[in-house]
Amino acid sequence: KQASRSFQSKDTIVDVDGVKVGGGHFMIAAGPCSVEDEDLMVETAIKLKAMGANMFRGGAFKPRTSPYSFQGLGKEGLRRLQVAKQETGLPIVSELMSADNLDMFVENVDLIQIGTRNMQNFSLLKELGKIDKPILLKRGLTATYEEWLMSAEYIMAGGNTNVILCERGIRTFETGTRNTLDLQAVPYLKSKTHLPIVIDPSHAAGIRDFVTPMSKAAIVSGADGLVIEAHPNPEKAWSDGQQTVSLETFESLVRASKPLLDLE
């Protein structure tokens, strides 16, 4: 299998519009859960970059549990992300939910996120195999490592080997936090696959105060990067505010992370 260490022993380094991920290169994608007002997006991206983010994230098509919740700005959201990219040079990370929008994403997004709910949308994964854009493949809510790796195989089998795995917490019996962050995924997957693996502590915890400690733990576990929900005013965020850190907290998170990264 193409994702396995026995197929390729050397760590894959994925190039996301000039930002390398894996093999000792660390990504920090940060930004709000949903794309919001254009000025706010640009201002946030500028500040996050100055604080150490090397990619800007924001959802334009949102996989909301309730159909009555805000569903995202759609194509207009991708346009606003492009404006933020023009102002900062930061590569853009955004979630694709349907193959119908694939062309739009290839044009406007540098790292195409496949969310937890679509990890086993095999027809969508097959379409991703036909392009060469990097893919951020989030772990399914109840997926085993093997199932997750097989989803990566679906993309790679088509010819696209630019896959980054993202652990974002799984469903367990525990209800104190939104999900349970499985940090053992990092050493386990490092032994099984050459693909980079990054951690999203925001969706794992669902509680903003836990994002910094779990980010530090992720680095120590050997992860290749972080995906963090950050917003200038988390209480006012259009989605996932409860788990979104302020820019001040993001800055101190990065500062606390640096010495841990230098150890590697």
Per CB under 6 A, residues contacting ligand PEP are: 33, 59, 63, 95, 115-116, 138, 168, 203
Q: Are 223 and 204 in contact (CB under 8 A)?
A: no
Residue 33 as a binder of Mn ion (CB under 5 A): the answer is: yes
Determine, following the binding rule CB under 5 A, whether residue 97 of this chain makes contact with Mn ion. Answer: no
What phi, psi does 115 have (nearest 5°)? Answer: -75, 170
Nearer to ligand PEP, 4 or 74 (CB): 74
Q: Which does 80 bind (CB under 5 to 8 A by kind): ligand PEP, Mn ion, none?
A: none
- State the minimum distance, in angstroms, from the CB of residue 50 to Mn ion: 23
Nearest approach, Cβ of residue 203 and ligand PEP (Å): 4
Query: How many other CB atoms sit within 10 Å of the CB of residue 172?
Result: 11
- Does the protein bind Mn ion through residue 247 (CB under 5 A)? no
CB of 156 to ligand PEP, least distance (A): 20
Residue sitting closest to ligand PEP (CB): 115
DSSP string, 119-162: TT-HHHHHHHHTS-S-EEEEPPTT--HHHHHHHHHHHHHTT---
Q: Rounded to the nearest whole angstrom, what is the least distance from the CB of residue 79 to ligand PEP in the complex? A: 19
Q: Which is nearer to ligand PEP, 129 or 201 (CB)?
A: 201
Q: Strand 27-31 to strand 19-21: parallel, antiparallel, or no bridges (unpaired)?
A: unpaired
Residues linked to residue 163 through DSSP beta bridges, in sequence order: 135
Q: Where are the alpha helices (DSSP H) in the chain?
A: 38-51, 75-88, 102-108, 122-129, 145-157, 185-192, 201-205, 211-221, 247-262
Q: Which window, 25-33, 97-105, 173-181, 208-216, contacts Mn ion (CB under 5 A)?
A: 25-33
Element containing residue 57 per DSSP (H, E): strand 55-57
Residue 63 interacts with, from Mn ion, ligand PEP, none (CB under 5-8 Å by kind): ligand PEP
State the minimum distance, in angstroms, from the CB of residue 56 to Mn ion.
Answer: 14
**CA–CA–CA angle 259, 261, 264 (5° rounding):** 115
- Closest to ligand PEP by CB, 59 vs 91, is 59
Q: Is 29 in the site for Mn ion (CB under 5 A)?
A: no
**Token pair of 95 as six digits:** 């979630």
What is the footprint of Mn ion within residues 182-241 (CB under 5 A)?
240
Residue with Cβ nearer Mn ion (156 or 247):
247
- The region, left, alpha or beta by phi > 0 then psi within -120 to 50, assigned to residue 94 is beta
Interatomic CA distance for residues 87 and 36, integer angstroms: 16
Nearer to Mn ion by C-beta: 65 or 175? 65
CB of residue 31 vs ligand PEP: minimum separation in angstroms? 10
Q: Could you tell me the smallest distance in angstroms from the CB atom of residue 229 to Mn ion?
A: 6
Interface residues with Mn ion (CB under 5 A)? 33, 240
